[in-house]
Structure 1
Amino acid sequence: MEFDHHTLPAQRTTCRRLATCALLLFCASIGSESYAAKCLFVASYHRGYEWNDGIERGVDNTLKGRCELYKFFMDTKRNKGVAFAERKALEAKAYIEKIEPDVVIAADDNASKYLVKPYFKDARLPFVFCGINWTAQPYGYPYSNATGIIEVAPIRPLLKAIRQIVDQPGRGVYLSADVLTERKDYQRYRESYAKKGIVLQGVFAKTMQAWREQYIAAQAQEIDFIVLNNNSGINDWDSREAVRIAQRYNHVLTVTNYDWMMQYAMFAMTKLPEEQGEWAAQVALAILDGEPAASIPIITNRRWNIFANPQLLEKANIQLPAHLMHKAIKVASTQEIKEAKL
């Protein structure tokens, strides 16, 4: 039926109502199709931990508008006990059973250790893991329903840079928070550096006071460099105090693999947490499109950034080779680090 300006008012009103209803139904159908799939992001750690936040950003940016995204945070970085992790895993399992997601992204080691392996190995629900340190073997991957990306620190490139900055390095100290993943990282560093004739001593801190004492003690030793690996797990961490300590006592080369540690270190080659989240989310979308998880190979990260802290380098009278300084992002403060990552 056609309507013109001679159409009766009642007929025009009815037509408008029908058209409005049709439009609403059409929009609703588009919305339901856009979010027909449910995705769940399970983080081993907590919001506010920068590595965790970076993975989450990668997931958010990739899945935005592609599926209905739910999130669960296990908070096992601040709460290190096994009993706590097991309880949070059971809560996550109950949450999965409640929302019935179509695919789950499990970030970092504890999500795989306490949730995926015990309850969902070879299950129907597909999983994509990310942020697992060094190897997935402890969790028995691959499963028929899972694939993922492994997190590998650029140890060899960092060592190559250290040997370009320091003449014939023979001894170093690895200082980090006293948590399982950092001890795991230390073993990898120690073994890799030993192959090049370098002795690497590991020291670990549970508190800010312990970190302070160990940092000062390391700077007083006859060593060639210090690896400042991670502060996460030191629950009373004071970044302002750490900056003061680094500026006052720093004279030995300090390096790191984490960008947020660049306030206290001179040089870094850093992994990109966003890479982990982006890849996991892209694979989740492929699974939603019908690709079996088992058909997608497990990979390792392939990208990193280079940072330099000119202020600390100058205070210690240490010069980077020109090619490293040219490639490096120059930062000194938390704000500069955040801006460099944008």
Structure 2
Amino acid sequence: TKAVVVPFYKDGSLPFVFCGLNWDASRYGFPCKNVTGMVEVAPVKELLEHLKPYAKGNRLGVIGADVETNHKETEAYRKILGLQFEEYYTKSVEDFKKGFLELQAKVDMILIDSDGGLYNSAADDLKAFFLANTKVPTGTCYDFMTPYVLMGFTKLAEEQGLWSAGAALKILDGTAPSDIPVVKNKEGALIVNAKIAKALGAQIPFAMLQSAAQVIE
């Protein structure tokens, strides 16, 4: 996008539909007369709505590997979603455990961001740790982190593909890209970790379990 569309085609006659631009399209100068699309955002607020019934308050903590992507994500949570939270960036598996326990003593809910693939070799160890030590509702927007949390609410790639295809068809039918508003993804897949729920003593409604995309047992 930055290397091709912006320098060579922006505001030209050739239409473009984007998807997968994270959080804010305005940094690319979009939308413009020949570009529209779907901005990709993490469904954090939707996830928190699922967690709140099991929390004693609204204090939020965020923990994730100390990688650039997670720093950018938490900045977006704060600036774009308007969330306030304690944060902890982990340097190792043991630091992940330490940071989680520290956060848990301060907050009512914890959002676990990506481990960046850094802790894959310790997956079994971490599953056992979170099962034994989780005392507050936890959630993630990454499907590969759901073995460690109470609930996951993850983006659906299909939503972006279907919307983009629909927008392209409208353009082919004569609608100007500038007449198709830029939108954000809204849909998500709910994943419930029944093991963590049992350890927490959280009573998950049967209807929620039925509607979940996955139940980890």
Runs of 4+ off more than 6 Å:
none
Q: Does the alignment pair 1:156 with 2:39? A: no
Partner of 1:204: 89
TM-score by length of 2: 0.78
Q: Please, which of 60, 64, 68 is the counterpart of residue 176 of structure 1?
A: 64
Q: Please, which of 227, 231, 242 is the counterpart of residue 111 of structure 2?
A: 227
Task: Quote the offset at 1:177 in angstroms.
Answer: 3.7
Q: Distance in 2 between matches of 1:209 and 1:290?
A: 57
**Aligned partners of 1:141 and 1:147 also within 8 Å:** yes
Judge which range, 138-147 or 118-127, deviates more: 118-127
Q: Distance in 2 between matches of 1:177 and 1:185?
A: 12
Choose between structure 1 and 2: higher helix proportion. Answer: 1
Q: Distance in 1 between matches of 2:166 and 2:189?
A: 22
TM-score by length of 1: 0.53
Q: Please, which of 138, 157, 160 is the counterpart of residue 27 of structure 2?
A: 138
Q: Distance in 1 between matches of 2:52 and 2:119?
A: 34
**Aligned partners of 1:207 and 1:237 also within 8 Å:** no
Q: Which amino acid aligns with 1:142?
A: P
Q: Does the alignment pair 1:255 with 2:139? A: yes
Larger Rg: 1
What is the CA RMSD across the aligned residues, in angstroms? 3.1
Partner of 1:320: 204
Q: Deviations over 1:282-305 (max 9, x none)?
A: 333444566543343212223222
Q: Distance in 1 between matches of 2:164 and 2:136?
A: 38
Q: Distance in 2 between matches of 1:145 and 1:117?
A: 11
Q: Does the alignment pair 1:218 with 2:107? A: no
Partner of 1:265: 149
Query: Mind listing any 5+ residue stretches in structure 2 that lack a counterpart?
Result: none
Q: Which amino acid aligns with 2:201?
A: N
Larger RCO (CA under 8 A, 6+ residues apart): 2
**Aligned partners of 2:43 and 2:186 also within 8 Å:** no
**Aligned partners of 1:175 and 1:228 also within 8 Å:** yes
Q: Distance in 2 between matches of 1:114 and 1:183?
A: 24
Q: Which amino acid aligns with 2:44?
A: I
Task: Quote the offset at 1:224 in angstroms.
Answer: 1.4
Q: Cα 1:139–1:253, aligned 2, differ >3 Å: closer, same or farther?
A: same
**Aligned partners of 2:22 and 2:40 also within 8 Å:** yes
Partner of 1:185: 73
**Aligned partners of 2:52 and 2:58 also within 8 Å:** no
Q: Distance in 2 between matches of 1:249 and 1:184?
A: 28
Q: Which amino acid aligns with 2:152?
A: A
Q: Please, which of 120, 123, 127 is the counterpart of residue 16 of structure 2?
A: 127
Task: Quote the offset at 1:156 in angstroms.
Answer: 3.4
**Alignment identity in percent?**
33
SS in 1 for 2:62: strand
Q: Does the alignment pair 1:237 with 2:126? A: no
SS in 2 for 1:252: coil
Q: Which amino acid aligns with 2:29?
A: G
Task: Quote the offset at 1:170 in angstroms.
Answer: 3.8
**Aligned partners of 1:165 and 1:321 also within 8 Å:** no
Q: Distance in 1 between matches of 2:97 and 2:3?
A: 33
Task: Quote the offset at 1:114 in angstroms.
Answer: 5.0
Q: Please, which of 166, 183, 186 is the counterpart of residue 299 of structure 1?
A: 183
Q: Distance in 1 between matches of 2:117 and 2:78?
A: 22
Q: Which amino acid aligns with 1:237?
A: N
Query: Mind listing any 5+ residue stretches in structure 1 that lack a counterpart?
Result: 1-111, 334-342
